Structure 1
Amino acid sequence: MIANRFVDQQGIYLLSHSVGLPLKSSLAGAYNAFWQPWLGADEQIWNHWLEQIERFRDQLGLLLNSDSCNFCPQTTISSAVNKIIFSLSARSDKNIILMSEEDFPSVAYALQQACRLDYQVRYIPAGLDLNDMSIWDEYLTDDVALVLITQVQSNNGVQLPVDAITEIAAHRSIRSIVDIAQAIGILPIDIQTGSADFIVGSCVKWLSGGPGAAFLWVSPDIIEQCHPQNVGWFSHEDPFEFDIHNFRYAKDALRFWGGTPSVYPFCVASSSLEFVNSFGVAVLREHNVQLCQQIIDNLDQDELMSPVIADQRSGTLIVHFGKKHQQITNSLRGEGIQFDSRSKGIRLSPHIYNTEDQISTLVQHIENSR
């Protein structure tokens, strides 16, 4: 049974949109990849560790269908976004950064720092249907330099038409950043089908890879136009050259890396990526859709805040129980159901380690609490 490959749940765990449960094998895998070379205490320690970074990049390339050289490890998505901003040359006729009020605040905070470069931030108001391409046609104006597109919005579970939006942006010479944090590992993603300039993501959610293993993908079409300011010896074309008078950007996405890198989080995440790649995201998604439908079928019509159509939503259901919301959510917590809450309702995210029996228990608790 697939669920047995993950650590045991405390109650019924439906928080994969926040922190995915780790594989039981992750601890031993990280020990072999990180601790074993260190305990070997020889001059090859860094060579061993850097092999693990390449393993991480290779697995990302396999998962998202892109050459591994286009990926750069990052500690957080926000730091990656900040590096992007300060790597691009500003244009006086294009000084707007566009994002939605439904985007994740941490990324917005990073983008707001572009005001130091005389950019202005413009927001698409919350409440507008971002699956309506006429909205993007209206807001992607000639003065926009950069647009943030969040593939899956965490507040409402809405999935956006990323490929169509990035195509418009590219046609209008607008740089695009796509945030796939809530999508990677549960929605099939093929980088080759879109026109994004940058993609940022992390492994802590559906990939079950833990915090600290984020990444930045840079289109090979624009890499030579990117000149990051936050650099270090691992941003260098040859990090072990050690010529203090001769900094040269790495030819690939690693120019966005920086100083001495963190290694351990990427050892953990690589094991999870290998599991997802061997199992297949399409299979994970099919299982998720089935369990989500099982929940939807037992909700009242006005309780689902997420889209009803599976292709328009993520792996997460946002549910609000109206006047009985507090009563029902308190009851669910008392029964050991693990979830969290946002302004629009509670978030429920069935993953491959959840079963039909668990969802049946969930919906029975909901019914008993009405």
Structure 2
Amino acid sequence: MSDLRGAFEVPPGGPYLLAHSVGALPRAARAGLETAVLAPWSGKGGDAWGDWLGAIDGFRDALAGLLGGTAADYCPQPNLSAGLFRLLSALPPEGERREILASDQSFASIGFALKGLEALGFRLRLLTVDPTAVETWAEAIGPQTAAVVAMHVHSNSSAVGPIAEIAALAREAGAIAIVDVAQSAGVLPLNLPTLGVDGAIGSCVKWLCGGPGAGWLWVSPTLCARAKPIEIGWFSHVDPFEFDIRDFRYAPDARRFWGGTPSVAPYALAAAAIGVIAGVGVEAVRAHNRALIARVSERTNGRWFDPDRSGFGGTICIAAEGSNPSLTAIGAKFDRRGDQLRLSFHVYNTADEADRVAEALARV
């Protein structure tokens, strides 16, 4: 995959290991922004909206091609929290079925969004035991459960949750299941309709290398048909350009979750980036990621990570304290989540970089 490095504007210095946070910029995304946003704006002014909305349609098409379903099932969102709140607020609690279940190992912003839903009558319950164990969810889900929100890959451990099993448990209990795929989309193969979930939230800033601002919401057609979003705007309308203030009708598909005047640039960037990842193939991204992790493991005698263990995303998460000067010395770009050191290899990383990381870790 080293030949793909030239397709990305990789930050200078040592190994860039932050795909779990902000993926490197694909060169095609810069060109995509110029073609889809700037050139129409410059040449057409206010008449550029046709081009701009076409760029957003391209974003939805790209998501469907990569993650399954149809473009009609996807709605652009500014971020995951907005998508999650818009979806659940469109399904008010019924009777005693008011509990929303999530793990306390979810990304913090997800918990904040769910807590905000208590103003609508929901009740948030954060599970404090292993979210990758089916038993955790089986014991918690019951007649009081309105919705279950689970992470596909946990950002603080890289552990993979049993999403299909969780979705089945929710369905049996009469609850809906929503999955957060922010840490898996682009590095683990996904087909959202086959997971059995009712909804999914994701972003493009990480493994999809699409930059910030291009979040999205996927809603199953069955759930979408009965959802009545309360945060709406003219792009939630079946015909946004009808302009009759007394006549609102929901769009027939996931666009009903859209809201007001949309941003354009983030989605044009992301559509181009998704095209690059789709061209490489998510299976190939995963294989390259695993190959570089295996090199690190081999050269450190398996001290830090076992590449053969099942159930992890694409990030090496190492329990380590201190400043890790050996990694800093080689100019590596990495981060921490609590006491976890996080390192991610993408297709723009090379075998030589993996070897340098291994040498640095061997000195820790």
Q: Same fold (TM over 0.5)?
A: yes
CA distance in 2, matches of 1:215, 1:119: 23
CA distance in 2, matches of 1:308, 1:45: 49
Instruction: Determine which of 343, 346, 351 is the counterpart of 2:346.
Output: 351
1:119 correspondence with 2:122: yes
Superposed displacement of residue 89, structure 1: 2.5
SS at match of 2:205: coil
After the TM superposition, which residues 40-51 of structure 1 pair with which residues of structure 2 at under 5 Å, given as runs?
A: 40-41=43-44, 44-51=47-54
1:155–1:344 contact (8 Å) kept in structure 2 = no
Identity of aligned residues (%): 36
SS at match of 2:25: coil
1:289–1:310 contact (8 Å) kept in structure 2 = no
2:166–2:177 contact (8 Å) kept in structure 1 = no
After the TM superposition, which residues 164-313 of structure 1 pair with which residues of structure 2 at under 5 Å, given as runs?
A: 164-299=165-300, 303-304=304-305, 309-313=308-312
SS at match of 1:73: strand
1:319 correspondence with 2:318: yes
2:10–2:348 contact (8 Å) kept in structure 1 = no
Aligned length in residues: 361
Q: Which residue of 1 aligns with 2:20?
A: 17
CA distance in 2, matches of 1:290, 1:300: 15
SS at match of 2:322: helix
Q: Residue type of the partner of 1:47?
A: G
Deviations 1:187-214 (A, max 9, x none): 0001122211110000000000000000
Q: TM-score, normalised by structure 1?
A: 0.94
CA distance in 1, matches of 2:309, 2:59: 30
After the TM superposition, which residues 43-122 of structure 1 pair with which residues of structure 2 at under 5 Å, given as runs?
A: 44-122=47-125
Q: Residue type of the partner of 1:123?
A: L
CA distance in 2, matches of 1:344, 1:298: 23
1:167–1:194 contact (8 Å) kept in structure 2 = no
Instruction: Determine which of 333, 336, 353 is the counterpart of 2:331.
Output: 336
Q: Residue type of the partner of 2:163?
A: V
Deviations 1:210-259 (A, max 9, x none): 00000001110111211111111000000001111100000000000011
Deviations 1:273-329 (A, max 9, x none): 11111211000000011111222334466644xx754530000011134xxx426x1
Q: Residue type of the partner of 2:322?
A: Q
Q: Which residue of 1 aligns with 2:360?
A: 365
Deviations 1:52-89 (A, max 9, x none): 00000000000011110000000011111111121112
Q: Residue type of the partner of 2:268?
A: C
Per mean C-alpha deviation after superposition, the further-off stretch among 245-254 and 289-298 is: 289-298
Q: Which residue of 1 aligns with 2:130?
A: 129
1:139 correspondence with 2:140: yes
Superposed displacement of residue 25, structure 1: 2.4
Q: Which residue of 2 aligns with 1:4?
A: 6
Superposed displacement of residue 99, structure 1: 0.5
SS at match of 2:342: strand
Per mean C-alpha deviation after superposition, the further-off stretch among 111-120 and 289-298 is: 289-298
Superposed displacement of residue 42, structure 1: 5.1
Q: Residue type of the partner of 2:195?
A: G
List alignment gaps of at least 5 residues for structure 2. none
Q: Residue type of the partner of 1:350?
A: F
Cα RMSD after superposing both structures = 1.5
CA distance in 1, matches of 2:46, 2:16: 43
1:98–1:124 contact (8 Å) kept in structure 2 = yes
CA distance in 2, matches of 1:71, 1:83: 13
Per mean C-alpha deviation after superposition, the further-off stretch among 209-218 and 21-30 is: 21-30
Seen in structure 2, the aligned counterparts of structure 1 residues 8 and 223 have a Cα distance that, compared at 3 Å, is closer
List alignment gaps of at least 5 residues for structure 1. none
2:202–2:217 contact (8 Å) kept in structure 1 = yes
SS at match of 1:297: helix
Q: Residue type of the partner of 1:317?
A: I
Q: Residue type of the partner of 2:253?
A: D
